Copies of this chain bind each other. A is one copy, B any other.
């Protein structure tokens, strides 16, 4: 049953974190969205830290499921890299330019969230670094990607550009369009010729 109260709370928490951040998200806001009283939330998640950690755990798992689909997709490494970049673009596109990656948002607030959350976020970042590194290596092997330097560090450049690109794009007139250009240019930098996906 995917839509019991617990899942609805996680849905609402994720949506609010992506839009306004964890510090600006309250049990009162969640209660209004889900349609229960705020005290009832403590039955499902005793503390706010519990709620945030459960939300990030689910987010990480779901994100990696999308990544698996991308990785099992056809085409060249460069084309699969483009599909991976589009996972980030779709977040902006489907929220009218108002949602960040949940883990990017929480990364900004990490100093207020405790060491356990910092470790969880770092795990998400490192998992993505490994995914990008693999895509770059596969692209280099099939000739669709060209990396002039250290592949592992380049993967971190790409991930940072995605997280930061979303953040910066959000204040522009057309965030999704802006970010789409940035993602395309990132591909141009990493491929011998521009890809069209």
Contacts and interface: CB of A to CB of B under 8 A. Distances in A.
Interface of A: 19-21, 23-24, 98, 100, 104-105, 107-112, 118-119, 121-122, 125, 148-150, 153-154, 156-157, 159-172, 178, 181-182, 184-186, 188-190, 194
A165 to B, nearest CB: 3
- Give the 5 A-B residue pairs with the shortest CB-CB distance, closest first: A164-B164, A160-B165, A108-B108, A163-B164, A160-B164
Contacts of A111: 19-21, 24, 98
A160 B182 CA distance: 9
Q: Give the number of copies in the complex.
A: 2
A44 B184 CA distance: 46
Contacts of A186: 157
A24 B109 contact: yes
A163 B168 contact: yes
- For the complex, would chain A's binding face be called helix, strand, loop or mixed by DSSP majority? helix
Given A149-B194, A156-B165, A160-B165, 19 more contacts: A24-B111, A100-B108, A107-B171, A108-B108, A118-B171, A119-B171, A122-B171, A125-B172, A148-B189, A149-B188, A153-B184, A156-B185, A157-B185, A159-B164, A160-B161, A160-B164, A160-B182, A161-B164, A189-B190
A139 to B, nearest CB: 15
Contacts of A181: 150, 153, 156
A168 B112 contact: no
A11 B127 CA distance: 37
Contacts of A109: 20-21, 23-24, 108
Contacts of A98: 111
Contacts of A185: 149-150, 153-154, 156-157
A195 to B, nearest CB: 12
